[in-house]
Amino acid sequence: MLTVLGFVMIATFLVLIMTKKMSPMAALILIPALFCVLVGQGAHLGEYVLKGVGDLAPTAAMLMFAIIYFGVMIDVGLFDPVVRGILRFCKADPVRVVVGTALLAAIVSLDGDGSTTFMITVSALYPLYRRLKMSLVVMTGVAATANGVMNTVPWGGPTARAATALKLDAGDIFVPMVPALATGLVAVFLLAYVLGRRERKRLGLLTLDDAGTATGRAVPAGEPVLAAATGGFGARVRTSVLRTAALRAGKARPAVGGGNGGMDSADPATVGTTPAAVGTTPGTSAAAPGTDGPAPGTDDFQGLDPHRATLRPKLYWFNAALTVALLVLLVLQTLPIPVLFLLGAATALTVNFPRMTDQKARIAAHAENVLNVSGMVFAAAVFTGVLTGTGMVAHMARWLVDGIPDALGPHMGIVTGVLSIPLTYFMSNDGFYFGIVPILAEAGAAHGVGALEIARASLVGQALHMSSPLVPAVYVLVGMAKVEFGDHTRFTVKWAVLTSLVVLAAGLLYGII
């Protein structure tokens, strides 16, 4: 009974948030509370919730102070050179923008922390996606999938958990898996290229003129013009003479919002007729043709305004050194991650904004993100607390393992890889690696399959895991990108599953699994 109710609870939660019948926060709280009563353990609800909150409180604290820290670093201009470099590479081409998203997410993921990756990636690219009217779920989907593949680095969590659970060396697990994981990362870049091509087809081919004037031909009256302030190398973005036939015919589907991933249709009669029709948000104004861009603070690139009052150019190298030191200490695990970000945020605020009023202003500026993310973490604590406390997770896992036919015993590596995809989505890494993987290893040992093979196979599902509703970092991603979690899930799951299967197939091909 607990097995059935566990699957029904998860399915109910996913259906409600994907159909937008309930907000993720409400669903994470109310659905498990209801099922806790249905299984006859309502009297223990408070105990389960407090246990879940206690387990996730350090994560909530880490996210809270990490958001403040990186928000301050963005305010003071630490990442402006990185953003400018990425924007120069992208050149307003949707293909380059999406590939650049995968590249940036993969590089930043080397620090082993998903929250950091998403904060930096979204802060750098969100303005460009908005300005070009690109789908925001493409950004969140590609970033999450790239981070999922890179999350397998030994200091990222899954590999260390697998090594601990099976009493193995993390290097023995990870190093042989590098070719398979590299293949998975290549698959992410191919996916980014395909999605970028799809965005280019939908929007038309865009070009960026660094000189600030259109090249090749004059821009005819009525042709959509984008005035893009790209962090100090302002340029005008215009649709190319090679734009798609669909756009010429007035049938293109420009994105008109962030919450729906930018996939809604707009009235062709109102799209692309004036500079203000494209590339601006409601209540803002575009630059007039022939200018280098809108005035500071008038468009989505305000965060890159080279004249913003929060810039601290004289403290640039101090902030860079502080960030590098923070990341090094994070990798070395000198102190718990929440403590590192707490100390880092306090130091960054004190040095960059000595005045109390300025510190309060910076905290207030990032309060919305802090509240949204920490609130979602504590809501997820209710879900995980009930799922674990009632025994649903244990019964579901045991049912899945017991359902493996004896004939598949010699192929437990493949079985583990396949099971890791849904199981790491529906439960935490701790629950999977410490509760399920040892059982799978025992079953494999009975058929001559080594623990190392099981451990490597258990990493396969991480591409999907990073989009799990039980992963706090994903709420940083969708919250900062202003994307509905249900939209992100609906778009990302299929691509993340495909990426995980590519990693599994590569592992089999290379003889790793």
pLDDT tens, position by position, 403-423:
778 788 789 899 999 999 998
Give pLDDT, residue 447.
81
Residue type, 110: L
CA 422 to CA 468: how far, in whole Å?
A: 10
CA–CA distance from 377 to each of 271, 330, 363 (Å)? 39, 21, 19
Nearest 5 degrees, angle CA 105-CA 212-CA 286? 75
Q: How far apart are CA 495 and CA 188, in angstroms?
A: 9
Assigned token pair, 8: 């029904």
Helix orientation angle between 367-389 and 45-75, rounded to the nearest 10 degrees: 150
pLDDT in tens, 188-206: 999 999 999 999 999 876 6
Contact 24, 376 (CB under 8 A): yes
pLDDT of residue 507: 94
Backbone angles phi, psi at 42, to 5 degrees: -60, -30
Pair 6, 392: CB distance under 8 Å:
yes
Q: How far is CA 315 from CA 75, 130, 488, in A?
A: 12, 30, 37
Nearest CA to 372 out of 156, 160, 67, 113 is that of 67
Q: What is the pLDDT of residues 294-325, one digit of tens each?
A: 333 333 443 356 778 889 999 999 999 998 99
Q: What is the dihedral of CA 78, 81, 84, 90, to 10 degrees?
A: -100
DSSP lists the bridge partners of residue 225 as 238
Collect all residues with Cβ–Cβ distance below 8 Å to 147 and sequence separation of at least 6: 105, 106, 109, 114, 117, 118, 466, 473
Residue 248 CB partners (closer than 8 Å, separation 6+)? none
Report which of residues 282 and 400 the model is more confident about: 400
- The rounded mean pLDDT for the chain is 77
- Backbone angles phi and psi of 298, in degrees to 5: -105, 0
Which DSSP symbol is given to 411?
Answer: G
| Contact assessment for residue 349 and residue 357, using Cβ atoms and an 8 Å cutoff | no
Give the residue-averaged pLDDT of 253-257.
Answer: 38
3-state SS track over 410-424? HHHHHHHHHHHHHHH
Q: Tell me how far the alpha carbon of residue 147 is from its chain's centroid.
A: 7
Report percent pLDDT > 70 for the chain.
Answer: 79
User: From CA 117, how far away is CA 108, in angstroms rounded?
Assistant: 5
Give the pLDDT of residue 147. Answer: 95
Q: How confident is the model at residue 45 (pLDDT cuts 50, 70, 90)?
A: very high
DSSP code of residue 266:
-
Checking if the pLDDT of 501 tops 90, the result is yes
- In the chain, DSSP finds a helix count (H) and a strand count (E) of 22, 3
Give the Å distances, CA to CA, from 133 to 282, 283, 349. 13, 16, 34
**DSSP code of 432?**
I
d(CA 271, CA 276): 9
* DSSP assigned state of 258: S
Write down the pLDDT at residue 205. Answer: 63
For residue 459, what is the DSSP state?
T
**Burial environment of residue 340 by CB neighbours within 10 A (0 to 12, 13 to 18, 19 or more):** buried
* 3-state secondary structure (DSSP) of residue 446: coil
DSSP 249: T
* Confidence class for position 253, pLDDT limits 50, 70, 90: very low
Of the listed ranges 181-195, 352-366, 437-451, the one predicted with least confidence: 437-451
Which pLDDT does position 84 carry in this prediction?
75
- Which carries the bigger pLDDT value, residue 13 or residue 478? 478
Quote the pLDDT of residue 437: 87
User: Is the distance from CB of 138 to CB of 194 less than 8 angstroms?
Assistant: no
Q: How far apart are the first and last CA of the chain?
A: 34
User: What is d(CA 96, CA 455) in angstroms, rounded to the nearest whole number?
Assistant: 36
Neighbouring C-beta atoms of residue 493, cutoff 10 Å: 17
Distances (CA, A) of 118 to 22, 155, 251, 295, 311: 25, 17, 34, 28, 22
Q: Tell me, what's the pLDDT at 338? A: 85
Give 467's pLDDT tier (boundaries 50, 70, 90).
very high
Q: From CA 234, how far away is CA 222, in angstroms rounded? A: 22
> Burial of 294 by CB count in 10 Å (0-12 exposed, 13-18 middle, 19+ buried)?
buried
